Structure 1
Amino acid sequence: MRVGLFVTCLVDGMFPDVGDATVRVLERLGHEVDMPMAQTCCGQMHINTGYAREALPLVRRHVGAFEGYEAVVAPSGSCVGSVRHQYATLAAAAGDEALAAAAADLASRTYELSEFLVGVLGVTDVGAYYPHRVTYHPTCHSLRLLRVGDAPTRLLRAVAGLELVELAAAESCCGFGGTFALKNADTSTAMLADKMRDVLSTGAEVVTAGDSSCLMHIGGGLSRLRAGVRPVHLAEILASTPTAASTVAPPAAASPAASVARTAR
């Protein structure tokens, strides 16, 4: 299958290893993966903060960038949620019926990584090896908007060497929520404190999730506590092999240009 990698701004700009890992997993399963160089921000941030007019050109660009792919896969539930549940409505509200139709078509072909692997490909064992104690945080958009269900945990349970530890109050929000963390900092911090307490109570070495944004928020809090718990994206765990699994480190920041070069196929 020819798959388009929807890398997302945060992965491209700050966590390029997540994009690389997504490509490795898909290629390991025999799929051809391209990263369209025309893609930019998908516009989720603009839409969610009320800038519909400014988001429309980004929607149009994104729809055009991924034309012709059998499937479009992203390591982010929140960005996929925007394409699936906001694009066509936004275009229709602007009176652009052609764009609305194209957006609806793209929505039907766009998937978060875990739902693509389990729900579309019917795969749970991707041949990964990761000998660590791990707990999983289900992010809000993947849980409530995309309804990926237990796809991520099914994938994690199939990883050789991995011990999956249940997270208490797992479905509670971590407090990030994009601009929510900036506009409601005190509430966000309180929610983060609850999430960190639950993560630490598991005794896990690693906390994982399907969105780099939530992991950035949780990982930032844990780093300030010097807790020794690492945030690692689900894609990185699924891409791990016996030679690389014991050396996985928190993702390093990189420039957008550098990450594009690394993930382009």
Structure 2
Amino acid sequence: MCMCQKRRCAAVRWMPMAAISGGRTPCGRRTRLSSVPVFGAIEGLDALVSVASGCGAHLAGYPGMGALHKDISEFLLDASVPQRLRFRPLEERVLAHVPCTLENVLRAGDAPLELLGAIPGLEIEELGTRGGCCGAGGLTFLSHPRLSRALRRPLVGQIEQLAPRFVLTSNAGCGLHLQQGADSPEYLHPVTLLARQLMTD
């Protein structure tokens, strides 16, 4: 029997990603399907927006949700935010990490970089190889810690060499994993930096 059914945990129906990442794929699929009616019951839904690419990759796979789902960076670009709003200049060189789920699954790897281009003076360098795994990989950092650290090592080297003030990533799990290897920079979602630089007057 599925562990989720044994425990009868109400919260686990919202955690199909953890179940799939943890190797209980049939369980993850069942819990994912149980969430579909919740979204389907929301009338007039124009978009289902996610702020973490790992979660977004799973939401996009929900039956009937693919056309509605957008990563937040993609959603803001579609809303012409860079053209409609003004941002304070920031003379900084930052490292931008494009998570594998954003690039390989959601096909929206350019979106956060394009958004960040709205900040005058910001110099953006990509961290690692686009589409590559940083080592977090769902629960890989727990189930295969040695492999996880090996995948992270070259990225940590790049962070230490550049010593940026900010490392930007669209996946909180990736950010936490990278921070374990190099904790000097501040780790932010690209949209968080955009919000900080927003001119409100």
TM-score by length of 1: 0.61
CA–CA separation in structure 2 for the residues paired with 1:109 and 1:242? 27
CA contact (8 A) 2:95 2:166 kept: yes
CA deviation after TM superposition for structure 1 residue 208, in Å: 0.3
Matches within 5 A, 1:50-61: 50=25, 51-52=27-28, 54-56=30-32, 58-60=34-36
Q: Distance in 2 between matches of 1:175 and 1:43?
A: 20
Structure 2 alignment gaps of length 5 or more? 1-12
What is the Cα deviation at residue 169 of structure 1?
2.9
Unaligned residue ranges in structure 1 (runs of 5+): 1-39, 89-103, 245-265
Q: Please give the alpha-carbon distance, in whole angstroms, between the structure 1 residues aligned to 2:38 and 2:191.
A: 23
Instruction: Note if 1:202 corresponds to 2:162.
Output: yes
Matches for 1:1-265 after TM superposition, within 5 Å:
41=14, 43-48=16-21, 49=23, 50=25, 51-52=27-28, 54-56=30-32, 58-60=34-36, 62-64=38-40, 66-85=42-61, 87-88=62-63, 104=64, 106-118=65-77, 120-125=78-83, 126-129=85-88, 131=90, 132-223=92-183, 228-241=184-197
CA RMSD of aligned residues (A): 2.6
**In structure 2, how many angstroms separate the alpha carbons of the residues matched to 1:127 and 1:74?**
24
Structure 1 Cα separation of the partners of residues 134 and 120 of structure 2 = 28
One-letter code aligned to 1:43: P
Contact 2:51 2:71 in 1 (8 A): yes
Q: Which has the higher contact order (CA 8 A, sep 6+)?
A: 1
Q: Larger deviation: 166-175 or 183-192?
A: 166-175
Partners of 2:120 and 2:88 in 1: CA distance: 5
TM-score (norm 2): 0.78
Cα offset, 1:150, TM superposition: 1.5
Change (3 A) 1:166 1:44: closer
Matches of 1:242 and 1:79, distance apart in 2: 26
Task: For residues 26-53 of structure 1, give each alpha carbon's deviation from its aligned partner in whole angstroms, at most 9, with x where no partner exists.
Answer: xxxxxxxxxxxxxx83522223431236
**What SS is found at the alignment partner of 1:237?**
helix
Aligned to 1:253: none
Number of residue equivalences: 183
Distance 1:46 1:152, change over 3 A: same
CA distance in structure 2 between the partners assigned to 1:154 and 1:41 by the alignment? 31
Q: What do residues 64-87 of structure 1 show as CA deviations (whole Å, max 9, x unaligned)?
A: 4654321121111111111212x2
